[in-house]
Each structure stands twice: as C-alpha cells, then as structure tokens.
Structure 1
C-alpha cells in the first residue's frame, strides 16, 4: 500500500539537492552526471538541465551488475545504459533517488568502470534512508530519513516533470 506523506515534499527535496550540488561542484572539473535507472535517471535529467550539464548526462541500468541478480532475475523494464561522453578522467556524479544498503551504488560503480576510469566518483541521492550494508556515503543528499525495513520510498515523476515521494508499506 503506497501512501503520500506530507512531510516529504519531493520538489523541495529536489531543490535542496540541486543547491547542494551547485555549490559542491563549483570547483570541480570535467563534471558529468550519470543517473541510475529509473528514479535516479529522472533526477539526473533535471539536475543536468539545471546545472548546465545536459551535454554531460548519462544513464546506467545496474540490473546485470547487481550481486543479487540470480535472486531477482531479469525484469522486463531493463533499460540500456547510455554514457555518451568520455568517462576516463572525468568527475562523475552518480545520482540515485534513494540510498539504502549501498548495493545499487556498488553495482553502478562496477558498471561505470567498464566505460573507463574516472578521476573521481561522487554520489548524490534525494533521500538517504540509512541501513547500509556496504561502506557507501553520499556526497550530496537532500534528506536523511530512517524507515522500518518493511517500508520503501517510491519516487514518481508526473507528466509535467514534477516529482512526488511516497512511502510504500509492503
């Protein structure tokens, strides 16, 4: 059951994340943004436009790189990864909607290195919900919220591009 939560204004969270990234990347060189499908890809598209990095935007689907691929199997919504710029030597900002265990981030880094060796990899997330299983921390995050293990955040994008964030009670 998915329920809206008035405490999670996804648009306000997005603005906070964009502002933190703008100031945090001011001195960085050769910056590119890579969104993790699907919520991270939606965020990355808007961030790239708002930060003037649309020409340095890519997308990753980590389905084949996950350590639980055998358990999860192939989902019908697997998207192709697209990185249309040189990764070698770049500062890459991986973008995901929710940071939880760190396993998706690990998979994204593994895939990213198949494209080349970046100078630096940074992580941006709309929400950090804790519960890490791997030593992964965001460089940019809008909000840190603890949820019980049986609850999950769900980011949605409306036709006009606006975001909403709900909590799914499994």
Structure 2
C-alpha cells in the first residue's frame, strides 16, 4: 500500500538556497557535486542547475562498497560510477535522497576516498528518517520525517520527481 507521490520541488528549492548560503559562509567556490544513484543523482541534477555549477556532475553507484554485499548479492542494475574530475583537495557536495541508517553514506565516502582525498565533504539529503546505525549526520537536509516502523520511503522519478510513503501492511 502506498500514498500518491508527493511533489518535492519546494524541498529542492530549499536545498539549493541552503547550499548556496553554506558555500558562501565557508568561501567555497567551484564545489564538485556528486549524487548517489539513483535518487541522489536525480536530486543532484536539479541542484546542479539551480546552483549553476560549471563542473560536470559526479555519480556514484555504491553497490560494490555496501557492507551487506555478501548477504544481498549483486543488484542486477549496477551502473558504473562516474567522477569526471579529480577529487583530490576538492570540496565535495555529496547528495542522496534519503538518509536512514548511514550505511549508504559510509559506502559512498569509501568510494570517494578511493578516487582521492577531498578537502571536505558536505552531505546533503532530501529526507532524514533518523534511524541511524552509524554516526553520520547530514549537513543540509530538506525535511525530517517520522515514519512508523512498517513504513518505507521511495523517491519516484526522475520526471516528475516525487515521494511515496509505502506501507508493508495491506
């Protein structure tokens, strides 16, 4: 059972404004924007346009970096990661759709560090569900959500981009 997809354009606008303020406060110019497949890439594409960043967008598929890879096996739609420029000494904005346990972000950080040592990583998430298993917190978040234990969140898209709250109960 699921709800109808809710539009999220307003949250992406909010993230864009908060990222711009964050960058100005820290005097960061020309950050490298990296999205985590697939929802994080969809959001990062929109943020790339809003922020008018000139660098090409980076994309990570963290499938091989997951700590549960041996239990879940290879997902049939694994795509290659693409970091079009060097990460070494770069300020990175890492974008994901939902942060829950923190494990996806841990995997993404491991992959980024395989490409080089960034100057900083700013974590941006559209939604924070707050069911952490690792001590990882977003720097910028669109919205905090409280879900019932039987509920899950799913980003739909890429066009239109929306949010569904799924319930395991039928």
The runs of 5 or more residues in structure 1 that have no matched partner are none
Rounded Cα–Cα distance in structure 2 between residues aligned with 1:11 and 1:42: 12
| TM superposition shift of 1:72 | 1.4
Match of 1:153 in 2: 153
Alignment map for 1:17-96 (pairs within 5 Å): 17-26=15-24, 27-96=27-96
Match of 1:12 in 2: 10
CA contact (8 A) 1:41 1:95 kept: yes
Change (3 A) 1:22 1:163: same
**SS state of the match for residue 125, structure 1?**
strand
Rounded Cα–Cα distance in structure 1 between residues aligned with 2:109 and 2:28: 19
The runs of 5 or more residues in structure 2 that have no matched partner are none
| TM superposition shift of 1:18 | 1.4
Displaced runs of 4+ in structure 1, greater than 4 A? none
**SS state of the match for residue 106, structure 1?**
helix
| TM superposition shift of 1:125 | 0.4
CA contact (8 A) 2:30 2:55 kept: no
Residues matched between the structures, number? 166
**SS state of the match for residue 25, structure 1?**
helix
What per-residue deviation string (whole Å, max 9, x for no partner) do you get for residues 122-162 of structure 1?
1000000101111111111110111123211111125xx33
Rounded Cα–Cα distance in structure 1 between residues aligned with 2:34 and 2:96: 9
**SS state of the match for residue 50, structure 1?**
helix
CA contact (8 A) 2:87 2:116 kept: yes
Structure 2 length-normalised TM: 0.92
Rounded Cα–Cα distance in structure 2 between residues aligned with 1:25 and 1:146: 29
| TM superposition shift of 1:54 | 4.5
Rounded Cα–Cα distance in structure 2 between residues aligned with 1:154 and 1:90: 31
Structure 1 length-normalised TM: 0.92
